[in-house]
Every structure is written in C-alpha cells, then in structure tokens.
Amino acid sequence: MISDRTWRHGSGLRVPFESIIDSARQHQKTGGRIYVSTDSFPGSTECVFATVICLYNESLRKGGKYFYQRHTVDPKSIPNLRERMLLEAQKSIDLSMTLFDCGVSDLEVHLDISPKGTPHATSRYADMLSGYTTGVGLDCRVKPDAWAASVADRHSKAVYAQDNDSS
C-alpha cells in the first residue's frame, strides 16, 4: 500500500505519511494545489519507480515542498514501454485516490509522457493515459507542463547514489 512504504521529505529525511497528509491539508487551506507524479528508471536488475507529492501555490508562487517514495520491481515484470508508462500512471492515480480519501481534494496528476504528435516514444500513449487519468476524475498534465514529473525523475535515477527503499 502506498501509505505503508517509506516516504521522504525532499531533503531525504523520513516522514510519516500522516504528516504529509497534514501538510497537504494545511497547504490547501492557503490556496495551494497538490501535484502528484511518478517516474521510472529501468535497469538490468531492477526498475526503480519514484512517486512524488509536490505542494505549490502557483498564484502566490509559494510552496515548493515535496515528498517522495521509491520502490523497485523486477524489470522482467514490465515487458515494454507501454506497460511501464501505464504502471507510472497507475501509481500516480492510486496515490491521488488515497490522498482524496484522506481529505486532500485539489489534485493534479503530472504524467511523464510527451504530447501526442511529438517524435518521442511516449507520445503514442498520451491519449490513452490522459484519458485514463481524467476518466477517474483527476486533472492531468503532460510534458512540457508536467513539471512534477521532473521532480520524480530526480529520485528514480538517484536511487543508486542514495538510499534504496525496496519496501
């Protein structure tokens, strides 16, 4: 379960999921929005997924706090790019639904995919994954507007230099 795994503040310090919920609720009281994203990095022995919760108040240009969690899966369980992109979207949707169940309502999912019609490999999945996300009632953005995906990217690739929470 998402809330059972180790969560960390952007600085790397462990933080209980309940504290993240409290921060998100407080952030929303001041007009801030919550952004959720997941990125992955496939390696030969494991595929690392990093999911982030970013707190930012765009109108005040304030916030900038974020939390992340990582976990790994066997790369053989994800046979192709489509499956990996689908799993990234699913992780972000699941987390968003958990946050919503905890009373955090103003959410936006940032998908780590390129827009349809661009020459990037992920662009062929833009309609499918955007439709999936909006179909469950969530707002979503794709690159270049999916800035939270860049935050997740930092932690999916930095796993070997930092801690490795496989739980």
Give the domain range for residue 31.
2-157
Torsion sign over Cα 107, 54, 111, 165:
negative
**Is 165 domain-assigned?**
no
Give whole-number Cα distances, 153 to 46, 134, 164, in Å: 16, 22, 15
pLDDT at 167: 41
Residue 45 DSSP SS3: coil
pLDDT tens per residue across span 103-151 = 998 999 999 999 999 999 999 999 999 999 999 999 999 999 999 999 9
pLDDT tens per residue across span 65-96 = 999 999 999 999 999 999 999 999 999 999 99
**Is 29 domain-assigned?**
yes
**Is 167 domain-assigned?**
no
Torsion sign over Cα 132, 136, 141, 146:
negative
- What is the average pLDDT score of the chain? 90
Please state the domain count of the chain.
1
**Is 163 domain-assigned?**
no
Residue owning tokens 């699913």: 90
**Is 107 domain-assigned?**
yes
Across 21-27, average pLDDT: 95
pLDDT at 111: 98
CATH number for the domain spanning 149: value is 3.30.420
User: Over 90: is that where the pLDDT of 161 sits?
Assistant: no
